Amino acid sequence: MQTCVEPSPPPGLADGCQQLEAIIRQGRLLPVFQAIVDLEAGTVLGHEGLIRGPSDSALHSPTMLFEAAERCRMTLALDLACLRACAERFAELALPGLLFVNISPETLLAQGRRPAAVLALLEGAGLDSRRVILELTETRPSGGYPALREVADGCRRDGLRIALDDLGEGFSNLRLWSELRPDIVKLDKHFVRHIHLDPLKEQFVRSIVDIARQSGALLVAEGIESAAELRTLCRLGVRYGQGYLLARPQARPPQALPSMADTLPWAGRRPSSRYQPLARDLLLEVAPLEDRVPNETAYRRFAEHPDCFAIPVVQDGVPVGLLRRHHLLERFAKPFNRELYGKKPCRMMMDKQPLVVNADINVHELSSLVVAAERRYLVDGFIITDNGRYLGMGTGFALMRKITELQLSAARYANPLTGLPGNVPINETVDRLLGMDAPFVVAYADLDHFKPFNDLYGYAAGDSLIELVAHLLLAHADPERDFVGHVGGDDFVLLMQSDDWEARLRRMLARFGEQASAHFSEAHRAAGGFEVAARSGETVFLPLTALSLGVVKVRAGQYHSHREIGAATAEAKKRAKKMPGNSLFVECRQPGEPASCRCGQS
Identify the band that residue 171 occupies on the pLDDT scale cut at 50, 70 and 90: very low
DSSP summary character for residue 130:
G
| Whole-number Å distance between alpha carbons of 387 and 451 | 57
Phi, psi of 305 (to 5 degrees): -125, 90
Residues 507 and 583 in one domain: yes
On the CB side of 339, how many CA atoms lie within 13 Å of its CA? 2
Residue 146 belongs to a domain? yes
Residue-averaged pLDDT of the chain: 83
Residues 389 and 429 in one domain: no
Mean pLDDT of 245-254: 91
Phi, psi of 118 (to 5 degrees): -65, -45
Q: Does the predicted TM-score (pTM) go above 0.75?
A: no
Residue 92 belongs to a domain? yes
Q: How many domains does the chain have?
A: 3
Residue 254 belongs to a domain? no
Residue 58 belongs to a domain? yes
Residues 383 and 437 in one domain: no
Residue 268 belongs to a domain? no
Residues 347 and 436 in one domain: no
Give the domain CATH number at 500. 3.30.70.270
Residues 298 and 162 in one domain: no
Between residues 197 and 446, the one the model is more confident about: 446
| Whole-number Å distance between alpha carbons of 276 and 7 | 59
Pair 473, 484: CB distance under 8 Å: yes
- pLDDT for res 229: 87
Q: At what angle do helices 116-125 and 75-93 cross, to 10 degrees?
A: 30
- pLDDT for res 542: 93
Residues with Cβ < 8 Å from 28, sequence gap 6 or more? 22, 53, 54, 57
Identify the band that residue 289 occupies on the pLDDT scale cut at 50, 70 and 90: very high
Written as one string, the DSSP assignment of 573-595 is: HHHHHTSSSSEEEEE-SPTT--G
Residues 363 and 431 in one domain: no
Report the DSSP pairing between strands 161-167 and 30-38: unpaired
Is the pLDDT confidence value at 316 over 70? Answer: yes
Give the domain CATH number at 130. 3.20.20.450
- Condensed to tens digits (0 to 9), the pLDDT of residues 59-109 reads 877 778 888 888 888 888 888 999 999 999 999 999 988 999 998 888 888
Q: What is the distance in angstroms between the CA of the first residue and the CA of the last residue of the chain? A: 70
Residues 235 and 315 in one domain: no
Q: What percent of the chain is predicted at pLDDT more than 70?
A: 87
- pLDDT for res 591: 57
587-593: long-range contacts at Cβ-Cβ below 8 A with a sequence spacing of 24 or more? 587/550, 587/551, 587/552, 587/553, 588/553, 590/558, 591/558, 591/559, 591/564
Coil/strand/helix, residue 471: helix
Listed residues 376, 402, 428: the one ending a domain: 402
Residues 358 and 428 in one domain: no
584-588: long-range contacts at Cβ-Cβ below 8 A with a sequence spacing of 24 or more? 584/502, 584/505, 584/506, 584/509, 584/549, 584/551, 585/548, 585/549, 585/550, 585/551, 586/502, 586/551, 586/553, 587/550, 587/551, 587/552, 587/553, 588/553
| Whole-number Å distance between alpha carbons of 320 and 366 | 20
Is the pLDDT confidence value at 445 over 90? Answer: yes
| Whole-number Å distance between alpha carbons of 196 and 283 | 9
Residue 426 belongs to domain spanning? 420-597
Pair 221, 236: CB distance under 8 Å: no
- pLDDT for res 444: 96
Residues 286 and 237 in one domain: no
Helices (H), 97-144: 105-109, 116-125
- pLDDT for res 2: 43
Written as one string, the DSSP assignment of 358-427 is: ETTSBHHHHHHHHHHS-HHHHHH-EEEEETTEEEEEE-HHHHHHHHHHHHHHHHHHB-TTT--B-HHHHH
Residues 375 and 439 in one domain: no
